[in-house]
Chain A
Amino acid sequence: GENVEQHPSTLSVQEGDSAVIKCTYSDSASNYFPWYKQELGKRPQLIIDIRSNVGEKKDQRIAVTLNKTAKHFSLHITETQPEDSAVYFCAASKAAWGGATNKLIFGTGTLLAVQP
C-alpha cells in the first residue's frame, strides 16, 4: 500500500549548522512531494514542494532534492536558526485524473531542535 517513511524522528543541531531530513515513498506513481512545518499546536504549513519532473528546488535556506529512481526525497535546511525548531512532515501524492482529488500521504514527522 501507499507509505512514506521519514528519518530521523528527532534531530538536534546547533544554530548555524545544516539539517537534513530524509523520506522514502512506496508508490512509484507519486509525483508531488511537499514538506510541511508544524509548530506546537499549530497547523501544518507548506514550506516547499517538488514535482517529479524536477530533481532539486531551492528557496533561500531550504532546499528539497528528489531521486525518483530510489524513491527518496530530502529536505535540507542551511544556517539553521532557533525559529526553525518545529516538527517537519514530508508527504507524497499522485495526480489523479477524471476529477479525483489527490490525498497526501504523510511521513511520521521529524522533531527538529535548533540549539542557540
Chain B
Amino acid sequence: EPEVTQTPSHQVTQMGQEVILRCVPISNHLYFYWYRQILGQKVEFLVSFYNNEISEKSEIFDDQFSVERPDGSNFTLKIRSTKLEDSAMYFCASSNDRYNNEQYFGPGTRLTVT
C-alpha cells in the first residue's frame, strides 16, 4: 500500500539556521498539507497546497515558513531562521480528493532547535 514518506526522520539544528523538511506524497494525490505536533500536544494545521500554490495557511505559518513542490514528487517545508519554539514533530499529509478529504500522514520529522 502506498505511503507518504518524509526525510529526515530527525533534524537537529541551531537557532537561526535554515532547515528544509522533505516529503514525498502518495503518487496520485493532488492535495498536500503540513501539520506540526509539539510534544504531548495536538496536531496543528500549518499549510495546505494545491495546484502549485498555497490554498490556506494558519497563523503559525508566518514569513519564516515556505513550501514548495520543486518537482513532480517532492513537497518541502522550509523554515528560514529557526526558533526554539519551532521544535516539534512535523507531519506531511496528502489526499487525492478535496471533498472526501481522507488525509494520509507521513512518519514525521522530529525537529529539535537548540
Q: Which residues of A contact B (CB under 8 A)?
A: 32, 34, 36, 42-46, 49, 51, 89, 91, 93, 95-96, 99-109
Could you say which residues of chain A place their CB within 8 Å of the CB of B41?
A: 108
**Which of B12-20, B66-74, B76-84, B98-106 lies at the binding interface?**
B98-106
Could you say which residues of chain A place their CB within 8 Å of the CB of B103?
A: 34, 46, 104
Could you say which residues of chain A place their CB within 8 Å of the CB of B50?
A: 99-101
A and B contact pairs by CB, cutoff 8 A, 7 listed: A43-B105, A45-B105, A51-B100, A95-B99, A95-B101, A104-B35, A109-B42
Could you say which residues of chain A place their CB within 8 Å of the CB of B104?
A: 46
B: number of interface residues (CB 8 Å): 29
B55 to chain A, nearest CB (A): 4
B97 to chain A, nearest CB (A): 10
Could you say which residues of chain A place their CB within 8 Å of the CB of B95?
A: 101-102
A4 to chain B, nearest CB (A): 9
Could you say which residues of chain A place their CB within 8 Å of the CB of B102?
A: 34, 46, 49
Is the pair A43, B98 in contact by a Cβ cutoff of 8 Å?
Answer: no
5 additional A-B residue pairs with CB within 8 Å, beyond A32-B100, A100-B56: A36-B105, A93-B101, A101-B31, A103-B56, A104-B33
